Structure 1
């Protein structure tokens, strides 16, 4: 197949995937082996498809589709570095888990950027004393124990985000420490025209509802303060209006069904004050009547004999 034919075939495949699937994971594939790629493709079988390609070819294909689908322009800003696409119509959380769960341990390589901090644990290394100077050069405290080098305390050898130095890489390999794990990582998620960070998938429904309610309260407060009615503020305006109407009714001779109870309470508060104790007394009456019966039962228990009879 010629180079031109392979490009045409790639454009067709990308176009078909974009029409077939509504969601896309833009993934970074730095340090991902071909065997890992095969395993990820296998785990996504029936749920999605993985598509890799040169960035220049991907950009050219997307630009050719922007005329009919302007929403694809959002993807162009992320077509950089070692990236690929995972297309799916499945549950985004489940598919993301399958994408990022396939990780393998790897030794530290000089010049590689550390994805995490690397700590060399304290303990016996099994190395001969002649290599003590190597540890001293890296600032690792050691002592000789039973003819071998022993690291006195834990030492952070590499900091996350920094490049691994040649000496650090050699030491980690000598200690048989493979501190890093590599696999696909999700850069961005495209879902039905929207583009967002993968962290959004970790937001729970309760948290979304809470933020929505907080926003509605803020809108209602601002609307009430400036006197501009909105759907959020209208219920509060109606309630406030009703309170004002009650206040006018109480202060005047005007009466309606809703204010009759309030006026009655203001006119005769003693009646309401007496009603509550009466109700409480009536509820306690049965318990008071039962008390003598319990005392009679206790008197019958001794059968008429005293303790020392």
Structure 2
């Protein structure tokens, strides 16, 4: 009896030493993990995390004793439940949580376990030929039929809802269908570092969502700083661009000619002139004046025309005679 008591004291002393000497401590559940698999997980985590499995009562005693040297570490006693192990590490609690989560794998149900989430069988073909399997699946509540020489699941169905117990018949049917509803691995329930306790809900962050929120916050803060004209190494280039743009807009609106605005002002003037011209109606073309029609000359008779020609010839002869007389008088 004394040997048992001493062994427990030694175990508690060893646990206290681990709790005090390591910067990060986590309480981990190891329920349902076979011993060989735990050994494999320890091997995978070697150099990053050390794992010590012990009885919950001894762990609680060690936490209480360690709290005398590390304030707040006894807060971990709140998450000591089920089959428990203490994980010690030098990496921060969030990295530790991620390392422990990486050990988790899907596992078949044996019956009697609680469903971690809704267990659903989808409609479609199965690899089974008609036989006793049909009765086994129907016994588990799976709607099956035989089509084309194969066993077919007719409709999608929720076999077990989250939090409900998985029956042995359902467990056997799920295993036959290669549906493994359980997740086996090291389950961190809480962690401690530098006087702070981190619950699982805090540690289980969505990294992608966190990075998206961080990027959004950075963008919004930069926009606010530029809007307020707050100078910094990040905002000064943006503030200079903003100031230059606003100065150009002011110069253009006020029609101030400069080396940079003159070309733009000419383009602006051309555009305004073209816009104005498109709104002014075109003047109608003047129609040419119509000439008054001339009255057609009356055709003269041949006799009248002959007399006119003779008269013109007599006048020409007379003019020549007059010219000769004038020349002789001058002589």
Report if TM-score (shorter chain) is over 0.5: yes
CA separation of 1:112 and 1:19: change in aligned 2, threshold 3 A: same
User: What SS does structure 1 have at the residue aligned with 2:261?
Assistant: helix
The C-alpha deviation readout for 1:62-95, integer Å capped at 9, x for no partner, is 2233344442231222222222211111143333
TM-superposed CA distance for 1:187, in Å, is: 0.9
Q: Which moved more, 1:274-283 or 1:85-94?
A: 274-283
Extract unaligned runs of 5+ from structure 1.
215-271, 290-309
Q: Aligned equivalents of 1:131 and 1:41: distance in 2?
A: 39
Distance 2:252 2:93 in 1: 64
Structure 1 residue 196: Cα displacement: 1.8
Where 2:117 maps in the other structure, the secondary structure is: coil
The corresponding residue for 2:281 is none
Q: Displacement of 1:185 after TM fit?
A: 1.3
Change over 3 Å in CA distance of 1:14–1:139 after alignment to 2: closer
| TM-score w.r.t. length of structure 1 | 0.63
1:150 corresponds to 2:152: yes
Task: State whether structure 2 residue 11 is matched by structure 1 residue 10.
Answer: yes
**3-state SS, counterpart of residue 278 of structure 1:** coil
Structure 2 portions without partners, runs of 5+: 221-249, 268-331
1:280 Cα offset (Å):
5.9
For 1:275 and 1:209, the matched residues in 2 are separated by 37
- For 2:51, the equivalent position in structure 1 comes to 50
Task: Give the CA RMSD over aligned residues.
Answer: 3.6
Q: Is the 8 A contact 1:116 1:180 kept in 2?
A: no
The aligned counterpart of 1:89 is 90
Aligned length: 232
After TM superposition, the structure 1 stretch with the greater mean CA deviation from structure 2, 90-99 or 190-199, is 90-99
Alignment of 1:1-309 (within 5 A): 2-121=3-122, 122-129=124-131, 132-201=134-203, 202=205, 204=210, 207=213, 276-279=254-257, 283-285=261-263
* CA deviation string 1:251-291 (max 9, x = no partner): xxxxxxxxxxxxxxxxxxxxx999942246872249959xx
Q: Is the 8 A contact 2:109 2:166 kept in 1?
A: yes
Contact 1:44 1:95 (C-alpha < 8 Å) held by counterparts: no
Tell me how far 1:164 sits from its aligned partner: 0.3
